């Protein structure tokens, strides 16, 4: 594992050199590069000779910084900094949950670099639809919100700064000017991000090369062995089957 410095925070990353576009995994909210999907993609890349980049946003995982000081825009800029300084040539962005929102923001900022998009339960604009009016009122009044999490023993914390940054970077109110091949994978038993959002996103993307894959019994994480196998098949199809020598 290596690091780069951004605004005084050491951003941790793991880079696998290889052929073809670099696969860049973008974690979800309060997640990191050690999750099962990221690790599986890394292992697949190593075995097939593909280039792959995993990293942690500031305040998450092995990266420095205070979690509650971060915003959606700052995490987008973390992603851009790591991509700009570690990779060369085209990238394929794989965004999980909130990472799917950052995936779109990165692609809009670097359209000339991005060769493909894979959203896994992508959650763009969740600061708009993911909170009740009462929760938004708490964020505005108190500056932070704690919510019970089924994924971790600690509550999930959202700050007013993050929420306001999200509202300032909403994308789903009109066409999204990305003419990039995209694959959107979503479980229909996702309790956190309605699968219909992936259908809406597919319609808003300017690209004609967009496919939505629905997993009827899939949950939000899509981390079961069969889910990960599906993600890897979609990734392989999007990248193409050019022969490569494993490193």
Residue 218 has phi, psi (to 5 degrees) of -85, 145
Domain membership of residue 195 (yes or no) is yes
Strands 114-120 and 91-96: parallel
Closest C-alpha to 91, from 107, 73, 77: 107
For the segment 117-166, what is each residue's pLDDT rounded down to a tens digit? 999 999 999 999 999 999 999 999 999 999 998 888 889 999 999 999 99
186 included as an active-site residue? no
Domain membership of residue 88 (yes or no) is yes
Q: Say what the pTM is.
A: 0.95
227 included as an active-site residue? no
Residue 29 has phi, psi (to 5 degrees) of -65, 130
pLDDT at 196 over 60: yes
Task: Give the number of domains in the chain.
Answer: 1
User: What CATH number did the domain enclosing 191 receive?
Assistant: 3.40.50.1820
Domain membership of residue 114 (yes or no) is yes
Domain membership of residue 244 (yes or no) is no
- Residue range 225-231: mean pLDDT, rounded: 98
Domain membership of residue 150 (yes or no) is no
Looking at residue 152, its pLDDT comes to 82
Looking at residue 247, its pLDDT comes to 35
Q: What are the Cα distances from residue 24, in Å, to 12, 53, 65, 137, 167?
A: 14, 5, 21, 36, 25
Q: Which of 97, 125, 165, 227 is catalytic?
A: 97
For the segment 87-118, what is each residue's pLDDT rounded down to a tens digit? 999 999 999 999 999 999 999 999 999 999 99
Q: Which runs of E-coded beta strand occur in 27-124?
A: 50-55, 91-96, 114-120
Q: Which of 96, 190, 197, 198 is catalytic?
A: 190
Between helices 160-168 and 133-142, what is the axis angle to 10°?
120
Average pLDDT value over all residues in the chain: 95
For the segment 50-73, what is each residue's pLDDT rounded down to a tens digit? 999 999 999 999 999 999 999 999
What percent of the chain has a predicted confidence (pLDDT) above 70?
A: 97
Q: What residue numbers bound the domain in which 205 lies? A: 2-129+173-239
Phi-psi region of 225 (alpha: psi -120 to 50; beta: other; left: phi over 0): alpha
- Residue range 160-175: mean pLDDT, rounded: 98
Domain membership of residue 136 (yes or no) is no
190 included as an active-site residue? yes
DSSP state of 68: G
């Amino acid at each position: 594992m290596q690091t780069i410095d951004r605004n005084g925070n050491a951003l941790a990353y793991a880079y696998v050199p290889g052929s073809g576009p670099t696969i860049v995994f973008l974690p979800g909210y309060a997640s990191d590069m050690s999750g099962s999907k990221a690790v599986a993609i890394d292992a697949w890349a190593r075995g097939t000779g593909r280039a792959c980049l995993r990293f942690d946003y500031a305040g998450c995982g092995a990266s420095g910084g205070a979690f509650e000081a971060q915003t959606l825009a700052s995490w987008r800029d973390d992603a851009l900094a790591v991509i700009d300084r570690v990779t060369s040539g085209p990238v394929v962005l794989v965004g999980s949950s909130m990472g799917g929102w950052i995936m779109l923001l990165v692609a809009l900022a670097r359209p000339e670099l991005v060769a493909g998009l894979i959203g896994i339960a992508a959650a763009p604009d969740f600061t708009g639809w993911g909170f009740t009016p009462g929760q938004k009122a708490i964020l505005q009044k108190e500056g932070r919100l704690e919510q019970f999490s089924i994924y971790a023993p600690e509550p999930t914390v959202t700050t007013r700064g993050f929420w306001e940054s999200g509202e300032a970077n909403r994308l789903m109110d009109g066409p999204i000017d990305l003419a990039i091949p995209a694959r959107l994978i979503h479980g229909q038993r996702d309790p956190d991000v309605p699968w219909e959002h992936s259908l809406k996103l597919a319609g808003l993307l300017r690209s004609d090369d967009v496919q939505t894959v629905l997993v009827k019994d899939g949950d939000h994480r899509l981390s079961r062995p069969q889910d990960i196998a599906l993600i890897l098949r979609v990734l392989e199809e999007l990248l193409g089957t050019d022969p490569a020598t494993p490193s």
